[in-house]
Structure 1
């Protein structure tokens, strides 16, 4: 979805500009690009663990739920941008297959509703808490020493919870206590936020278990939000690790990284706000606000400047785009191949297109029959030479092929591109 959408948005033009330069499209493109970076980060981190022989059931549940939901977001945004091209099925449609198949991934192999509401926090709390499993085992134990052992574990649990509370207080109110281990200055600020949110999660979980006990399982809306905080922290850490260890050119990837991690942390903060606002016990709700320094419903969002920066960055042909799309299989003649050829061809002649635009603004070709006709007139005037004209004509043919949609006869026979290209905008939006 990322590959096809950014290539299409760069090649498809309106009013003499790539549609990827319009802010309405940029909002969708930035979301696609940032979430694709996050998806790849989570994929790499999760599969690395599996490759090492680790069986992280909670992590795989997080990855399964959030990656399929993020995939749905990305595909929906891509459908919005590509519009009719994404709806009309055929060999050139790069989205329809994935769009149709995505609900299968969401509803099977652990339905997403079940995964989010019961598995992520339910299993995570049991596996991550240092004493909770021991307490549960001792409650069901018939050993004579079980009561004494339970009291010991209970004291440890209380001490652990008190420590969590003070840790959250310190990191919530005293920013200088938030740690960061990264050597990269652009990462440290986000690592500190991850540290702070993680510190908030611990007392929220402790208080929930203490006040609601077994009823927390039934309070699925609450436990799901605690699971969301865990999940978005995992996504943020995955983005940091991917940016630090896998990215070839961090300068080019910075807007991708910033969008991915800002979005993850924003979602985690919002989950905490929603959890506290909906906790059923008033006194505990007040204590939660105090311990986590959460007194407002406002959560810092992603700036318009970052949206614009990332959307423009995503339309560049560079190593970051290659890294994020390396798993896309491009078959000669298919939609991905057609889009890619037009995308690369336009980058190759970008300076010539600028030259043509300036010439046409200075002295328009009237009547403007087609882009090809305008190129021929400019060549006759000596504005462009034969070699430049040939490159521009080649790009224009690839452009027309990339923006067309598959067409059929009334008998549902696919029409070849040669019969339908004449209907493509006459070249008015080629330059």
Structure 2
């Protein structure tokens, strides 16, 4: 008997037998979700020893001349057409001329290739368009993002038959067809396996001929573009009780196209999603018959719907809502910095108060970080990667951090952000926050179950292959496969233990890092924390096994560490890609120090909650031998970040690049003009403040200012007053507005 055979039979065999019994059952939806997408930089982070050269070699996300021309042309023109107050409070819809413009310029066909009549845009161009629109109107941004994200177009491109592509894609590209996608039903939100929407393979009559098809019954809700859609992408459970397809009776979740004018389709009335005016509503179908050819991908794709959806969502989730969130944070940085510069209390700009500088710094760093992660993820998508775990990280983290940034902005603006009206540029994006938090996988679900739960299996170097071996029906074949990978896993675990302990005890001083100038030390710390994360992953899997699936709070904390590692990697990549801008170093440092503080807090919490206390004490000795040492950004670092938002600079421009900020005479336009006038008059106001003179006439009499400077200050004061002003309405006008709003929504 060879040594390998002895090992397999005497050592691996008992472990294999125990693991097969201990391995929890996996639902079809879980298995298909795991198989969706692929692994990218998240896999490197899971190894505990990331190869930074792979990250830095990722091409920078960029636009083609045609894509840039679209942003500078139709996208810019569209933003000028949008009046968010009118859209949300008067029309409760996009105006007819905006709908016509969207269709004419093929905004709904951005992802559709040129050969089918679409724009053929890259993921980054798609993201840039959503970013620009989001800074002007959430309703318009959501209307554009949905057909270009999870929907029939994406699914047809990936899984449709050639005949389906040839017919549907040109019609979607030029908006002859308006698509929506029906997934969520009242009985099943995140748990798609619980949906009761059903299709039964049967025979029916189409165009006077007997046809083999599907008889559908469904009830969906929360469907964006549903009230105006002409074609519905529908997810349902398919059964074939008479075995007309020659296979199983229960075929599983399937996706098909259903024209909304098909007999039996009922389009419901509209929902009002968090006071946003984008089209959204329920629909249902009773005894709706469609041919088998309506299944996306044809009959051979029957039962593969969940995997198809998860694969498409792995891309869409990483683009649309992260783009909106990054735009929201950047918009908060632009507006809040400007407002804090021109708004005075106690005769000084409020931006000079440290209590204001703390949220300003947080907003600035968040804007820098979210846009870094957005760009990096788009770069991966444009290289043909579909990293499902990273997309989940980005969607959940971006929307959560946008919530914090917008809340901070509202706090600084005070009453200016609270009073609604055409001059309020923050209120609508504040109300939109729950939409981003909830859709495309609610953040509670994503954080507690998906990021680490899916990541630990997909991204771990060996775990998925071990699980596949354990699930083999042929025991001998499974044992052979398990034996090959299990001992590699053991060697990896021992190497991770030594690596994590060495890097933690030496403070990461000798951890691998590229030569990256001022930020080299940050790479070393990320290498250190990656090793600590990998070790705790092994410890959690070893001590909890399949029970880790039910320890959601523990899983969420491990997911938070992975999320921070990815977002911080993106920050360093952005700094490198933008030419190592020295003026941005304070933003990089603020992001890193905040992230390190969070990582150490989560490491501490995981160790405190591991059930096996012996293992927990041992692991703490290895990864946190000196306790928690990170306390977040220093006060001076926060002050430096805040100052970037208070004065015009190239660094400030980089934070807000790509937003639409030319608002004419609306709130954002007034803010921009006032900020320019205030900063241009900075030297004059400092001179007067130093002399303890506030009145312009007195300053003129004392020759502190010239006549020209007096006129400059007068213009500045008028501009500031226009910004500080808020809207007011007659009581009858408000009552009429709400009555009209309800009537329009009901219709």
Residue 30, structure 1, aligned to residue 351, structure 2: no
- Matched residue, 1:193: 525
Runs (5+) with no aligned partner, structure 1: 365-370, 414-431
Q: Which moved more, 1:129-138 or 1:384-393?
A: 384-393
The answer (yes or no) to whether the contact 1:236–1:265 under 8 Å persists in 2 is no
- Matched residue, 1:177: 510
- Matched residue, 2:342: 11
Residue 393, structure 1, aligned to residue 393, structure 2: no
Q: CA RMSD in A?
A: 1.8
* CA deviation profile, 1:191-229 (whole Å, cap 9, x unmatched): 111010001011110111111111000001111111111
- Matched length: 401
SS at match of 1:213: helix
Alignment of 1:83-232 (within 5 A): 83-143=414-474, 144-174=476-506, 175-184=508-517, 186-232=518-564
The answer (yes or no) to whether the contact 1:9–1:20 under 8 Å persists in 2 is yes
Residue 263, structure 1, aligned to residue 629, structure 2: no
The answer (yes or no) to whether the contact 1:92–1:405 under 8 Å persists in 2 is yes
Which has more helix, going by share of residues? 1
Between Structure 1 and Structure 2, whose CA radius of gyration is higher?
2
Give the CA deviation at 1:327: 3.1
Give the CA deviation at 1:284: 1.1
Aligned equivalents of 1:294 and 1:138: distance in 2?
A: 37
Give the CA deviation at 1:43: 1.2
Aligned equivalents of 2:643 and 2:628: distance in 1?
A: 32
The answer (yes or no) to whether the contact 1:61–1:120 under 8 Å persists in 2 is yes
SS at match of 1:327: coil
Give the CA deviation at 1:297: 4.7
SS at match of 2:648: coil
- Matched residue, 1:325: 656
Aligned equivalents of 1:178 and 1:282: distance in 2?
A: 28
* CA deviation profile, 1:2-56 (whole Å, cap 9, x unmatched): 1111100000011221101111111111111111111111111112222222111
SS at match of 1:129: coil
- Matched residue, 2:675: 343
Aligned equivalents of 2:565 and 2:625: distance in 1?
A: 18
- Matched residue, 2:61: none
Q: Which moved more, 1:95-104 or 1:147-156?
A: 147-156
SS at match of 2:455: helix
* CA deviation profile, 1:51-97 (whole Å, cap 9, x unmatched): 22211111110000101110011111111110100000112212111
Give the CA deviation at 1:295: 5.0
Residue 272, structure 1, aligned to residue 603, structure 2: yes
The answer (yes or no) to whether the contact 1:273–1:294 under 8 Å persists in 2 is no
Alignment of 1:55-74 (within 5 A): 55-74=386-405
SS at match of 1:178: coil
SS at match of 2:512: coil
Flag the 1:332–1:182 CA change in 2: closer, same or farther, 3 A: farther
The answer (yes or no) to whether the contact 1:58–1:119 under 8 Å persists in 2 is yes
RCO (CA 8 Å, sep 6+): is it higher in 1 or 2?
Answer: 1
The answer (yes or no) to whether the contact 2:343–2:724 under 8 Å persists in 1 is yes
The answer (yes or no) to whether the contact 2:419–2:726 under 8 Å persists in 1 is yes
Q: Which moved more, 1:175-184 or 1:71-80?
A: 175-184
The answer (yes or no) to whether the contact 2:505–2:622 under 8 Å persists in 1 is no
Which has more strand, going by share of residues? 2
Aligned equivalents of 2:730 and 2:679: distance in 1?
A: 35
Q: Which moved more, 1:107-116 or 1:391-400?
A: 391-400
* CA deviation profile, 1:370-408 (whole Å, cap 9, x unmatched): x7xx32443355432222222111111111111222222
The answer (yes or no) to whether the contact 1:289–1:295 under 8 Å persists in 2 is no
The answer (yes or no) to whether the contact 2:341–2:350 under 8 Å persists in 1 is yes
Q: Which moved more, 1:146-155 or 1:102-111?
A: 146-155
Give the CA deviation at 1:169: 1.2
Residue 245, structure 1, aligned to residue 577, structure 2: yes
* CA deviation profile, 1:337-374 (whole Å, cap 9, x unmatched): 11111111111111111233344x2xx5xxxxxx7xx3
The answer (yes or no) to whether the contact 1:203–1:291 under 8 Å persists in 2 is no
